Structure 1
Amino acid sequence: MKHKVLFLLTFVFLSCFSVQAQRGVRIGYIDTEYILENVPEYQEATTQLENKAQKWKTEIDGRLSELDQKRTALSNEKALLTKELIDEREEDLYYEEKEILDYQQKRFGPNGDLFIQKKQLMQPIQDQIFAAVQDVAAGKKYDFIFDKSADVVMLYSNKAYDLSDQILRTITRSSKRRQVSSKAERKAAEEEELVPEINYELEERERALEEKKTERESAIEKRRQEILANREAKKKAAEERRQQILDERAKAREDKLQSRDENTNDDGKSATEKSSIQTTKDSTTVETPKTREQLIEENRQKKLADREKRKKELEERKKKILEERQKAIEERQKAKDSLNNN
Protein backbone atom coordinates (compact mmCIF):
# COMPACT_ATOMS: atom_id res chain seq x y z
CA MET A 1 0.00 0.00 0.00
CA LYS A 2 2.81 2.40 0.89
CA HIS A 3 4.59 1.66 -2.38
CA LYS A 4 1.43 2.48 -4.32
CA VAL A 5 1.04 5.78 -2.46
CA LEU A 6 4.66 6.72 -3.15
CA PHE A 7 4.27 5.82 -6.81
CA LEU A 8 1.09 7.91 -7.05
CA LEU A 9 2.75 10.89 -5.38
CA THR A 10 5.73 10.63 -7.71
CA PHE A 11 3.46 10.55 -10.72
CA VAL A 12 1.52 13.59 -9.49
CA PHE A 13 4.72 15.50 -8.85
CA LEU A 14 6.01 14.79 -12.31
CA SER A 15 2.72 15.68 -14.01
CA CYS A 16 2.33 18.92 -12.10
CA PHE A 17 5.98 19.91 -12.40
CA SER A 18 5.73 20.80 -16.05
CA VAL A 19 2.46 22.75 -15.58
CA GLN A 20 3.53 24.74 -12.59
CA ALA A 21 7.19 25.05 -13.36
CA GLN A 22 6.79 28.83 -13.69
CA ARG A 23 5.62 29.42 -10.07
CA GLY A 24 6.88 26.26 -8.35
CA VAL A 25 4.98 23.61 -6.31
CA ARG A 26 3.77 24.53 -2.79
CA ILE A 27 3.80 21.62 -0.36
CA GLY A 28 2.87 21.46 3.32
CA TYR A 29 2.07 18.88 5.96
CA ILE A 30 0.13 18.57 9.21
CA ASP A 31 0.39 16.36 12.28
CA THR A 32 -3.10 15.09 13.05
CA GLU A 33 -2.11 13.67 16.44
CA TYR A 34 -0.68 17.02 17.51
CA ILE A 35 -3.84 18.82 16.35
CA LEU A 36 -6.16 16.40 18.15
CA GLU A 37 -4.22 16.74 21.38
CA ASN A 38 -4.75 20.52 21.27
CA VAL A 39 -8.42 20.52 20.27
CA PRO A 40 -10.71 20.85 23.33
CA GLU A 41 -13.48 18.88 21.63
CA TYR A 42 -11.11 15.92 21.25
CA GLN A 43 -10.24 16.00 24.96
CA GLU A 44 -13.92 16.17 25.90
CA ALA A 45 -14.77 13.28 23.58
CA THR A 46 -11.91 11.18 24.98
CA THR A 47 -13.05 11.87 28.56
CA GLN A 48 -16.62 10.93 27.68
CA LEU A 49 -15.53 7.67 26.10
CA GLU A 50 -13.29 6.78 29.04
CA ASN A 51 -16.09 7.49 31.53
CA LYS A 52 -18.56 5.38 29.60
CA ALA A 53 -16.09 2.54 29.16
CA GLN A 54 -15.29 2.60 32.88
CA LYS A 55 -18.99 2.61 33.75
CA TRP A 56 -19.64 -0.40 31.51
CA LYS A 57 -16.58 -2.22 32.89
CA THR A 58 -17.74 -1.61 36.48
CA GLU A 59 -21.20 -2.92 35.62
CA ILE A 60 -19.77 -6.08 34.04
CA ASP A 61 -17.41 -6.69 36.97
CA GLY A 62 -20.33 -6.29 39.40
CA ARG A 63 -22.46 -8.82 37.52
CA LEU A 64 -19.56 -11.29 37.35
CA SER A 65 -18.97 -10.89 41.09
CA GLU A 66 -22.66 -11.49 41.78
CA LEU A 67 -22.50 -14.60 39.57
CA ASP A 68 -19.55 -15.93 41.60
CA GLN A 69 -21.52 -15.38 44.81
CA LYS A 70 -24.46 -17.33 43.40
CA ARG A 71 -22.14 -20.20 42.48
CA THR A 72 -20.69 -20.21 45.99
CA ALA A 73 -24.19 -20.20 47.51
CA LEU A 74 -25.21 -23.12 45.29
CA SER A 75 -22.12 -25.07 46.37
CA ASN A 76 -23.02 -24.49 50.03
CA GLU A 77 -26.70 -25.45 49.56
CA LYS A 78 -26.18 -28.65 47.53
CA ALA A 79 -26.70 -30.77 50.64
CA LEU A 80 -30.25 -29.42 50.99
CA LEU A 81 -31.23 -29.60 47.30
CA THR A 82 -32.34 -32.40 45.05
CA LYS A 83 -30.50 -33.27 41.84
CA GLU A 84 -33.24 -31.64 39.73
CA LEU A 85 -32.95 -28.35 41.60
CA ILE A 86 -29.15 -28.43 41.36
CA ASP A 87 -29.24 -29.04 37.60
CA GLU A 88 -31.81 -26.30 37.13
CA ARG A 89 -29.81 -23.73 39.07
CA GLU A 90 -26.60 -24.66 37.24
CA GLU A 91 -28.42 -24.16 33.94
CA ASP A 92 -29.64 -20.74 35.09
CA LEU A 93 -26.09 -19.77 36.07
CA TYR A 94 -24.83 -20.88 32.64
CA TYR A 95 -27.38 -18.72 30.82
CA GLU A 96 -26.68 -15.79 33.14
CA GLU A 97 -22.95 -16.04 32.40
CA LYS A 98 -23.70 -16.21 28.67
CA GLU A 99 -25.82 -13.05 28.93
CA ILE A 100 -22.98 -11.23 30.72
CA LEU A 101 -20.48 -12.24 28.03
CA ASP A 102 -22.91 -11.17 25.29
CA TYR A 103 -23.33 -7.83 27.03
CA GLN A 104 -19.55 -7.44 27.25
CA GLN A 105 -19.24 -8.16 23.52
CA LYS A 106 -22.04 -5.70 22.82
CA ARG A 107 -20.19 -2.94 24.65
CA PHE A 108 -16.53 -3.62 23.82
CA GLY A 109 -16.70 -5.81 20.69
CA PRO A 110 -15.40 -4.82 17.22
CA ASN A 111 -18.82 -3.44 16.34
CA GLY A 112 -19.82 -2.62 19.89
CA ASP A 113 -21.14 0.54 21.47
CA LEU A 114 -17.66 1.83 22.32
CA PHE A 115 -16.56 1.68 18.68
CA ILE A 116 -19.82 3.22 17.41
CA GLN A 117 -19.85 6.08 19.90
CA LYS A 118 -16.17 6.76 19.34
CA LYS A 119 -16.91 7.13 15.66
CA GLN A 120 -19.92 9.34 16.38
CA LEU A 121 -17.96 11.61 18.73
CA MET A 122 -14.79 11.79 16.61
CA GLN A 123 -16.42 12.36 13.23
CA PRO A 124 -17.27 16.08 13.85
CA ILE A 125 -13.68 16.79 14.94
CA GLN A 126 -12.24 15.05 11.90
CA ASP A 127 -14.62 17.02 9.69
CA GLN A 128 -13.38 20.27 11.25
CA ILE A 129 -9.75 19.32 10.56
CA PHE A 130 -10.57 18.43 6.97
CA ALA A 131 -12.49 21.70 6.43
CA ALA A 132 -9.64 23.72 7.97
CA VAL A 133 -7.11 22.01 5.68
CA GLN A 134 -9.29 22.84 2.66
CA ASP A 135 -9.52 26.52 3.71
CA VAL A 136 -5.77 26.87 4.26
CA ALA A 137 -4.93 25.09 1.01
CA ALA A 138 -7.37 27.23 -0.98
CA GLY A 139 -6.37 30.49 0.71
CA LYS A 140 -2.61 30.06 0.39
CA LYS A 141 -2.64 28.05 -2.83
CA TYR A 142 -0.99 24.88 -1.55
CA ASP A 143 -0.65 22.14 -4.10
CA PHE A 144 -0.15 19.26 -1.62
CA ILE A 145 -0.77 18.92 2.12
CA PHE A 146 0.25 15.62 3.67
CA ASP A 147 -0.58 14.07 7.04
CA LYS A 148 2.50 13.17 9.03
CA SER A 149 0.47 10.73 11.16
CA ALA A 150 -0.87 8.84 8.12
CA ASP A 151 0.62 5.84 6.32
CA VAL A 152 2.89 8.03 4.19
CA VAL A 153 6.50 7.58 5.33
CA MET A 154 8.19 10.97 5.83
CA LEU A 155 11.86 10.45 6.38
CA TYR A 156 12.43 14.18 6.86
CA SER A 157 10.11 17.18 7.26
CA ASN A 158 11.10 20.80 7.52
CA LYS A 159 9.33 22.62 10.34
CA ALA A 160 8.78 25.60 8.01
CA TYR A 161 6.24 23.53 6.04
CA ASP A 162 4.34 22.41 9.14
CA LEU A 163 0.79 23.80 8.91
CA SER A 164 -0.52 22.21 12.12
CA ASP A 165 -0.65 25.51 14.07
CA GLN A 166 -2.47 27.25 11.22
CA ILE A 167 -5.03 24.44 11.16
CA LEU A 168 -5.47 24.81 14.92
CA ARG A 169 -6.08 28.54 14.60
CA THR A 170 -8.57 27.99 11.79
CA ILE A 171 -10.43 25.42 13.89
CA THR A 172 -10.46 27.81 16.85
CA ARG A 173 -11.88 30.68 14.78
CA SER A 174 -14.53 28.41 13.28
CA SER A 175 -15.37 27.15 16.73
CA LYS A 176 -15.89 30.68 18.03
CA ARG A 177 -18.15 31.56 15.12
CA ARG A 178 -20.28 28.49 15.70
CA GLN A 179 -20.02 28.45 19.45
CA VAL A 180 -23.70 28.22 20.19
CA SER A 181 -24.48 25.52 17.64
CA SER A 182 -21.29 23.62 18.43
CA LYS A 183 -22.09 23.71 22.12
CA ALA A 184 -25.54 22.35 21.47
CA GLU A 185 -24.10 19.63 19.23
CA ARG A 186 -21.49 18.65 21.82
CA LYS A 187 -24.13 18.50 24.51
CA ALA A 188 -26.33 16.36 22.28
CA ALA A 189 -23.37 14.08 21.50
CA GLU A 190 -22.52 13.85 25.20
CA GLU A 191 -26.06 12.93 26.16
CA GLU A 192 -26.56 10.69 23.16
CA GLU A 193 -27.09 7.06 23.98
CA LEU A 194 -27.76 4.24 21.66
CA VAL A 195 -31.40 3.27 21.50
CA PRO A 196 -31.67 0.06 23.45
CA GLU A 197 -32.89 -2.87 21.47
CA ILE A 198 -35.93 -4.44 23.08
CA ASN A 199 -35.60 -8.18 23.21
CA TYR A 200 -38.96 -9.56 24.25
CA GLU A 201 -37.70 -13.12 24.30
CA LEU A 202 -34.88 -12.16 26.67
CA GLU A 203 -37.29 -10.26 28.93
CA GLU A 204 -39.63 -13.26 29.01
CA ARG A 205 -36.75 -15.55 29.93
CA GLU A 206 -35.54 -13.18 32.65
CA ARG A 207 -39.05 -13.09 34.11
CA ALA A 208 -39.25 -16.90 34.02
CA LEU A 209 -35.83 -17.15 35.68
CA GLU A 210 -36.96 -14.75 38.41
CA GLU A 211 -40.09 -16.81 39.04
CA LYS A 212 -38.04 -20.01 39.20
CA LYS A 213 -35.62 -18.34 41.58
CA THR A 214 -38.50 -17.33 43.88
CA GLU A 215 -39.93 -20.86 43.80
CA ARG A 216 -36.53 -22.38 44.56
CA GLU A 217 -35.96 -20.06 47.47
CA SER A 218 -39.43 -20.90 48.82
CA ALA A 219 -38.78 -24.65 48.45
CA ILE A 220 -35.39 -24.34 50.15
CA GLU A 221 -36.87 -22.36 53.03
CA LYS A 222 -39.73 -24.86 53.41
CA ARG A 223 -37.32 -27.80 53.48
CA ARG A 224 -35.11 -26.01 55.98
CA GLN A 225 -38.10 -25.37 58.25
CA GLU A 226 -39.13 -29.04 57.99
CA ILE A 227 -35.61 -30.17 58.92
CA LEU A 228 -35.55 -27.79 61.89
CA ALA A 229 -39.03 -28.93 62.99
CA ASN A 230 -38.04 -32.62 62.81
CA ARG A 231 -34.87 -31.88 64.70
CA GLU A 232 -36.77 -30.04 67.44
CA ALA A 233 -39.36 -32.85 67.67
CA LYS A 234 -36.63 -35.49 68.06
CA LYS A 235 -34.88 -33.36 70.64
CA LYS A 236 -38.10 -32.87 72.60
CA ALA A 237 -38.95 -36.60 72.47
CA ALA A 238 -35.44 -37.49 73.68
CA GLU A 239 -35.73 -34.98 76.52
CA GLU A 240 -39.12 -36.38 77.56
CA ARG A 241 -37.77 -39.95 77.45
CA ARG A 242 -34.77 -38.96 79.53
CA GLN A 243 -36.98 -37.23 82.10
CA GLN A 244 -39.27 -40.29 82.25
CA ILE A 245 -36.31 -42.58 82.87
CA LEU A 246 -35.02 -40.29 85.63
CA ASP A 247 -38.46 -40.22 87.26
CA GLU A 248 -38.74 -44.01 87.11
CA ARG A 249 -35.28 -44.41 88.63
CA ALA A 250 -36.09 -41.95 91.40
CA LYS A 251 -39.38 -43.70 92.16
CA ALA A 252 -37.68 -47.11 92.21
CA ARG A 253 -35.01 -45.76 94.54
CA GLU A 254 -37.61 -44.35 96.91
CA ASP A 255 -39.59 -47.61 96.88
CA LYS A 256 -36.42 -49.58 97.60
CA LEU A 257 -35.44 -47.30 100.50
CA GLN A 258 -38.96 -47.43 101.91
CA SER A 259 -39.03 -51.23 101.65
CA ARG A 260 -35.61 -51.47 103.32
CA ASP A 261 -36.72 -49.18 106.16
CA GLU A 262 -39.87 -51.27 106.71
CA ASN A 263 -37.86 -54.51 106.79
CA THR A 264 -35.38 -52.98 109.23
CA ASN A 265 -38.17 -51.76 111.51
CA ASP A 266 -39.80 -55.20 111.44
CA ASP A 267 -36.64 -57.37 111.88
CA GLY A 268 -34.33 -55.15 113.91
CA LYS A 269 -36.42 -54.84 117.01
CA SER A 270 -36.46 -57.46 119.73
CA ALA A 271 -39.56 -58.49 121.64
CA THR A 272 -38.40 -56.54 124.67
CA GLU A 273 -37.86 -53.40 122.58
CA LYS A 274 -41.28 -53.82 120.97
CA SER A 275 -42.86 -54.32 124.35
CA SER A 276 -40.97 -51.31 125.72
CA ILE A 277 -42.01 -49.18 122.77
CA GLN A 278 -45.61 -50.37 123.11
CA THR A 279 -45.53 -49.61 126.86
CA THR A 280 -44.03 -46.22 126.19
CA LYS A 281 -46.69 -45.49 123.58
CA ASP A 282 -49.41 -46.60 125.98
CA SER A 283 -48.07 -44.61 128.93
CA THR A 284 -47.31 -41.51 126.92
CA THR A 285 -50.15 -39.64 125.44
CA VAL A 286 -48.02 -37.06 123.63
CA GLU A 287 -44.83 -38.17 121.83
CA THR A 288 -42.16 -35.61 120.97
CA PRO A 289 -41.26 -35.80 117.25
CA LYS A 290 -37.70 -36.87 116.52
CA THR A 291 -35.26 -34.83 114.48
CA ARG A 292 -33.74 -35.97 111.22
CA GLU A 293 -30.37 -36.63 112.85
CA GLN A 294 -32.02 -38.75 115.52
CA LEU A 295 -33.87 -40.78 112.92
CA ILE A 296 -30.64 -41.34 110.95
CA GLU A 297 -28.76 -42.39 114.10
CA GLU A 298 -31.58 -44.68 115.14
CA ASN A 299 -31.64 -46.28 111.69
CA ARG A 300 -27.87 -46.72 111.82
CA GLN A 301 -28.04 -48.39 115.23
CA LYS A 302 -30.72 -50.71 113.96
CA LYS A 303 -28.58 -51.69 110.99
CA LEU A 304 -25.59 -52.33 113.28
CA ALA A 305 -27.71 -54.48 115.56
CA ASP A 306 -29.04 -56.43 112.60
CA ARG A 307 -25.52 -56.92 111.27
CA GLU A 308 -24.30 -58.21 114.70
CA LYS A 309 -27.24 -60.55 114.86
CA ARG A 310 -26.49 -61.99 111.42
CA LYS A 311 -22.82 -62.29 112.32
CA LYS A 312 -23.67 -64.18 115.51
CA GLU A 313 -25.97 -66.52 113.61
CA LEU A 314 -23.20 -67.22 111.08
CA GLU A 315 -20.72 -67.97 113.87
CA GLU A 316 -23.13 -70.40 115.53
CA ARG A 317 -23.84 -72.11 112.21
CA LYS A 318 -20.13 -72.41 111.47
CA LYS A 319 -19.48 -73.87 114.90
CA LYS A 320 -22.28 -76.36 114.46
CA ILE A 321 -20.92 -77.45 111.07
CA LEU A 322 -17.44 -77.95 112.55
CA GLU A 323 -18.83 -80.03 115.38
CA GLU A 324 -20.78 -82.20 112.94
CA ARG A 325 -17.66 -82.69 110.82
CA GLN A 326 -15.60 -83.64 113.88
CA LYS A 327 -18.24 -86.07 115.02
CA ALA A 328 -18.35 -87.69 111.59
CA ILE A 329 -14.55 -88.06 111.59
CA GLU A 330 -14.60 -89.73 115.00
CA GLU A 331 -17.31 -92.14 113.90
CA ARG A 332 -15.34 -93.10 110.77
CA GLN A 333 -12.24 -93.63 112.93
CA LYS A 334 -14.14 -95.87 115.34
CA ALA A 335 -15.53 -97.92 112.50
CA LYS A 336 -12.01 -98.35 111.04
CA ASP A 337 -10.58 -99.42 114.41
CA SER A 338 -13.38 -101.94 114.88
CA LEU A 339 -12.63 -103.51 111.54
CA ASN A 340 -8.95 -103.77 112.33
CA ASN A 341 -9.62 -105.52 115.64
CA ASN A 342 -11.80 -108.10 114.00
Structure 2
Amino acid sequence: VLQKEQLIQPVQDQVFNEIRKIGSLKKYDYILDSSEAAMLYNAERHDLSDQVLKAIGRTAKIDSRNRGNDKKPTKEELREQEKEERYLSVEEAETVEKKEEAKEQLVNDREKARLEKLRVRDSIKAARAAKFQKRRDSIIEARERRKDSILKAREAKKKANQKTPPGGE
Protein backbone atom coordinates (compact mmCIF):
# COMPACT_ATOMS: atom_id res chain seq x y z
CA VAL A 1 0.00 0.00 0.00
CA LEU A 2 2.86 2.34 0.87
CA GLN A 3 4.62 1.55 -2.42
CA LYS A 4 1.34 2.13 -4.31
CA GLU A 5 0.98 5.54 -2.63
CA GLN A 6 4.55 6.45 -3.53
CA LEU A 7 3.93 5.56 -7.20
CA ILE A 8 0.61 7.38 -7.42
CA GLN A 9 1.67 10.54 -5.54
CA PRO A 10 3.77 12.11 -8.40
CA VAL A 11 0.96 11.60 -10.91
CA GLN A 12 -1.56 13.06 -8.50
CA ASP A 13 0.72 16.06 -7.97
CA GLN A 14 1.01 16.56 -11.74
CA VAL A 15 -2.76 16.36 -12.15
CA PHE A 16 -3.32 18.76 -9.28
CA ASN A 17 -0.80 21.28 -10.70
CA GLU A 18 -2.33 21.11 -14.18
CA ILE A 19 -5.81 21.59 -12.77
CA ARG A 20 -4.58 24.67 -10.92
CA LYS A 21 -3.04 26.04 -14.15
CA ILE A 22 -6.20 25.41 -16.15
CA GLY A 23 -8.33 26.92 -13.39
CA SER A 24 -6.27 30.09 -13.35
CA LEU A 25 -6.14 30.34 -17.18
CA LYS A 26 -9.87 29.87 -17.57
CA LYS A 27 -10.61 31.98 -14.50
CA TYR A 28 -12.70 29.29 -12.81
CA ASP A 29 -13.91 29.89 -9.28
CA TYR A 30 -14.36 26.20 -8.52
CA ILE A 31 -13.21 22.93 -10.05
CA LEU A 32 -15.00 19.85 -8.75
CA ASP A 33 -14.20 16.20 -9.00
CA SER A 34 -17.40 14.70 -10.34
CA SER A 35 -16.68 11.35 -8.68
CA GLU A 36 -16.66 12.98 -5.22
CA ALA A 37 -19.22 15.78 -5.61
CA ALA A 38 -22.91 15.35 -6.29
CA MET A 39 -22.85 16.74 -9.84
CA LEU A 40 -26.31 16.87 -11.39
CA TYR A 41 -25.34 18.56 -14.66
CA ASN A 42 -22.34 20.19 -16.28
CA ALA A 43 -21.76 21.53 -19.75
CA GLU A 44 -19.37 19.49 -21.87
CA ARG A 45 -17.14 22.51 -22.41
CA HIS A 46 -16.36 22.52 -18.67
CA ASP A 47 -15.03 18.94 -18.64
CA LEU A 48 -11.28 19.31 -18.12
CA SER A 49 -10.36 15.61 -18.15
CA ASP A 50 -8.93 15.53 -21.68
CA GLN A 51 -7.04 18.78 -21.19
CA VAL A 52 -5.44 17.58 -17.96
CA LEU A 53 -4.45 14.27 -19.53
CA LYS A 54 -2.91 16.03 -22.53
CA ALA A 55 -1.09 18.50 -20.30
CA ILE A 56 0.57 15.79 -18.20
CA GLY A 57 1.56 13.86 -21.30
CA ARG A 58 -0.94 11.05 -21.07
CA THR A 59 -3.11 10.01 -23.98
CA ALA A 60 -6.46 11.73 -24.21
CA LYS A 61 -9.70 9.83 -24.26
CA ILE A 62 -10.49 8.62 -27.76
CA ASP A 63 -14.12 8.58 -28.68
CA SER A 64 -14.17 5.60 -31.02
CA ARG A 65 -17.93 5.86 -31.38
CA ASN A 66 -17.64 9.04 -33.46
CA ARG A 67 -15.24 7.73 -36.09
CA GLY A 68 -13.26 4.62 -37.01
CA ASN A 69 -9.45 4.39 -36.95
CA ASP A 70 -9.12 4.18 -40.74
CA LYS A 71 -11.47 7.08 -41.41
CA LYS A 72 -10.05 10.55 -42.08
CA PRO A 73 -11.48 13.25 -39.77
CA THR A 74 -13.89 15.72 -41.34
CA LYS A 75 -13.43 19.50 -41.21
CA GLU A 76 -16.21 19.74 -38.65
CA GLU A 77 -14.51 17.15 -36.41
CA LEU A 78 -11.21 19.02 -36.70
CA ARG A 79 -12.91 22.30 -35.72
CA GLU A 80 -14.54 20.64 -32.71
CA GLN A 81 -11.22 19.10 -31.70
CA GLU A 82 -9.50 22.49 -32.02
CA LYS A 83 -12.17 24.09 -29.83
CA GLU A 84 -11.71 21.43 -27.19
CA GLU A 85 -7.92 21.79 -27.21
CA ARG A 86 -7.93 25.54 -26.57
CA TYR A 87 -8.08 26.79 -23.01
CA LEU A 88 -11.09 29.08 -22.81
CA SER A 89 -12.36 30.94 -19.81
CA VAL A 90 -16.06 30.95 -19.12
CA GLU A 91 -16.32 34.46 -20.56
CA GLU A 92 -14.36 33.45 -23.65
CA ALA A 93 -16.54 30.38 -24.12
CA GLU A 94 -19.66 32.55 -23.86
CA THR A 95 -18.17 35.00 -26.36
CA VAL A 96 -17.42 32.15 -28.77
CA GLU A 97 -20.97 30.83 -28.37
CA LYS A 98 -22.40 34.31 -29.03
CA LYS A 99 -20.26 34.65 -32.15
CA GLU A 100 -21.46 31.24 -33.38
CA GLU A 101 -25.07 32.23 -32.70
CA ALA A 102 -24.51 35.50 -34.59
CA LYS A 103 -23.05 33.58 -37.54
CA GLU A 104 -25.99 31.19 -37.48
CA GLN A 105 -28.40 34.14 -37.34
CA LEU A 106 -26.61 35.76 -40.29
CA VAL A 107 -26.90 32.54 -42.28
CA ASN A 108 -30.59 32.29 -41.39
CA ASP A 109 -31.17 35.92 -42.40
CA ARG A 110 -29.42 35.37 -45.72
CA GLU A 111 -31.48 32.25 -46.35
CA LYS A 112 -34.68 34.17 -45.55
CA ALA A 113 -33.63 36.97 -47.93
CA ARG A 114 -32.85 34.43 -50.65
CA LEU A 115 -36.21 32.72 -50.16
CA GLU A 116 -38.00 36.10 -50.26
CA LYS A 117 -36.20 36.95 -53.50
CA LEU A 118 -37.26 33.62 -54.98
CA ARG A 119 -40.85 34.18 -53.82
CA VAL A 120 -40.94 37.63 -55.45
CA ARG A 121 -39.40 36.26 -58.65
CA ASP A 122 -41.92 33.42 -58.75
CA SER A 123 -44.86 35.77 -58.14
CA ILE A 124 -43.68 38.05 -60.97
CA LYS A 125 -43.30 35.01 -63.19
CA ALA A 126 -46.81 33.81 -62.27
CA ALA A 127 -48.27 37.28 -62.96
CA ARG A 128 -46.61 37.37 -66.37
CA ALA A 129 -47.86 33.87 -67.15
CA ALA A 130 -51.41 34.86 -66.14
CA LYS A 131 -51.22 38.01 -68.28
CA PHE A 132 -49.92 35.98 -71.23
CA GLN A 133 -52.65 33.36 -70.79
CA LYS A 134 -55.34 36.07 -70.60
CA ARG A 135 -54.04 37.72 -73.80
CA ARG A 136 -53.79 34.33 -75.51
CA ASP A 137 -57.35 33.44 -74.52
CA SER A 138 -58.67 36.79 -75.82
CA ILE A 139 -56.85 36.29 -79.16
CA ILE A 140 -58.22 32.76 -79.46
CA GLU A 141 -61.72 34.01 -78.60
CA ALA A 142 -61.46 36.78 -81.23
CA ARG A 143 -60.36 34.21 -83.83
CA GLU A 144 -63.28 31.95 -82.90
CA ARG A 145 -65.76 34.86 -83.20
CA ARG A 146 -64.30 35.84 -86.59
CA LYS A 147 -64.38 32.23 -87.75
CA ASP A 148 -67.99 31.84 -86.55
CA SER A 149 -69.06 35.08 -88.24
CA ILE A 150 -67.43 33.97 -91.52
CA LEU A 151 -69.15 30.57 -91.29
CA LYS A 152 -72.50 32.24 -90.55
CA ALA A 153 -72.05 34.60 -93.49
CA ARG A 154 -71.26 31.66 -95.81
CA GLU A 155 -74.28 29.74 -94.53
CA ALA A 156 -76.50 32.79 -95.02
CA LYS A 157 -75.16 33.21 -98.55
CA LYS A 158 -75.76 29.50 -99.24
CA LYS A 159 -79.34 29.76 -98.01
CA ALA A 160 -79.91 32.86 -100.06
CA ASN A 161 -78.54 31.12 -103.13
CA GLN A 162 -80.78 28.10 -102.51
CA LYS A 163 -83.90 30.23 -102.29
CA THR A 164 -83.27 31.92 -105.59
CA PRO A 165 -83.16 29.56 -108.57
CA PRO A 166 -80.11 29.72 -110.71
CA GLY A 167 -80.36 31.71 -113.89
CA GLY A 168 -83.13 34.11 -113.01
CA GLU A 169 -86.07 35.13 -111.03
Larger Rg: 1
Scaled by the length of structure 2, the TM-score of the pair is 0.42
* TM-score, length basis structure 1: 0.24
More helix by percentage: 1
